[in-house]
């Protein structure tokens, strides 16, 4: 712990908007060596607890950043806890299934690229390996012997 201070904001507008004192906690992360400073209005908890809470909060922020980048959740469709959890778990399941399929197909592309290609071809009825082949994206249609020909060509 570097310091644990009680401070008051001294800017004209900040002092008007928040006249109460704040707690300024300085901390050096033993894992990274980074010096961190936290502001809080919670004076009852020990300074080390404040630093630990902010560190955990940062992990939550990193998790949501990962969700946005990898699971493509731009917004939540529901606001209840159950709706948010359901949407996150559904996205995690899709992500895990895509990773399994990519591994089973032994594809040498990034998972992000794999998911992009899947989203482009999601409603096309083509073999999955064809979607990921480097060849002609629109191969000549194959004639099926049991398929009717509408125009006799």
Query: Quick check: is 142 in a domain?
Result: no
Domain total in the chain = 2
Of 21, 23, 20, the closest CA to residue 50 belongs to: 23
Query: Quick check: is 77 in a domain?
Result: yes
Residue carrying the six token digits 């919670």: 42
d(C-alpha 122, C-alpha 84), whole Å: 24
pLDDT of residue 71: 83
Identify the domain boundary among 12, 39, 61.
61
pLDDT of residue 87: 92
Query: Quick check: is 101 in a domain?
Result: yes
Q: Which domain holds residue 83?
A: 72-123
Query: Quick check: is 103 in a domain?
Result: yes
d(C-alpha 29, C-alpha 118), whole Å: 41
Query: Quick check: is 84 in a domain?
Result: yes
78 and 107 belong to one structural domain? yes
Q: Tell how strand 3-7 and strand 35-40 pair up.
A: unpaired
30 and 77 belong to one structural domain? no
Chain segment 40-61, per-residue pLDDT in tens = 999 999 998 998 898 888 888 9
Q: Give the pLDDT of the chain (153 residues) as one tens digit per residue.
A: 689 999 999 999 998 999 999 999 999 988 888 898 999 999 999 998 998 898 888 888 998 888 888 887 888 899 999 999 999 999 999 889 989 988 988 888 888 888 888 887 777 777 777 777 765 555 555 555 666 667 765
31 and 85 belong to one structural domain? no
pTM of the model: 0.51
Identify the domain boundary among 61, 88, 104.
61
């Amino acid at each position: 712990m570097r310091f644990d201070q009680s401070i008051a904001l001294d800017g004209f507008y900040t002092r008007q908007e928040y006249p109460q004192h704040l707690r300024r906690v300085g901390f050096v992360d033993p894992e990274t060596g980074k010096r961190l400073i936290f502001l809080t209005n919670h004076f009852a908890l020990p300074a080390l607890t404040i630093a630990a809470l902010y560190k955990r909060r940062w992990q939550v922020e990193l998790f949501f950043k990962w969700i946005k980048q990898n699971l493509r959740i731009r917004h939540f469709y529901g606001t209840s806890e159950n709706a948010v959890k359901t949407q996150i778990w559904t996205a995690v399941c899709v992500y895990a299934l895509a990773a399994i399929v990519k591994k089973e197909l032994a594809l040498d592309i990034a998972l992000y690229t794999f998911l992009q290609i899947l989203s482009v071809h999601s409603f096309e009825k083509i073999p999955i390996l064809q979607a990921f082949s480097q060849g002609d994206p629109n191969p000549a249609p194959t004639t099926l012997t049991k398929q009717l020909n509408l125009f006799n060509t």
